[in-house]
Copies of this chain bind each other. A is one copy, B any other.
Amino acid sequence: MVLRILMPFLTGSPRVTGKRPLFCIILGNTMISTVAGISGAGPTPEKTLLTPNLDAELVMNGRITSMPIKPNTPTGCPTPASITRAMMELTGITPIFINAGLKNPLAVPHIDAIGQAANDPRSGDAVPSARQLVSHGKIIGKMLSQAGDLLVLGECVPGGTTTALCVLRALGYPATVSSSYAQNPVSQKEAICREALRGILSEKVTDPEEIIKRVGDPMIAVAAGIGLGYTGTLVLAGGTQMLAVCAVIKGMNGRIPSVSTTVFVRDDSSANVQELAAMLGVSMYYVDPGFGKLGHEGLARYCHGEVKEGTGAGGAMFLAAVMGYSPEEIQKKIFETVSGYS
Contacts and interface: CB of A to CB of B under 8 A. Distances in A.
A146 B19 CA distance: 11
A276 to B, nearest CB: 30
A169 interface: no
A147 interface: yes
Nearest to A99: B112
Contacts of A108: 114, 136, 139
Interface in A80-114: 93-94, 96, 99, 105-114
A136 B56 CA distance: 14
Interface string A187-201: 000000000000000
A254 interface: no
Question: Main SS of chain A's interface residues?
Answer: mixed
A250 interface: no
A60 B108 CA distance: 24
A49 to B, nearest CB: 19
Interface in A120-163: 136, 139-140, 142-148
Given A60-B139, A139-B60, A146 B94 contact: yes
Given A60-B139, A139-B60, A146 B110 contact: no
A302 to B, nearest CB: 29
B112 A146 contact: no
A4 interface: no
A99 B112 CA distance: 9
Give the residue among A22, A109, A113, A143 with the most B Cβ atoms within 10 A: A109
A15 interface: no
A330 to B, nearest CB: 20
B114 A111 contact: no
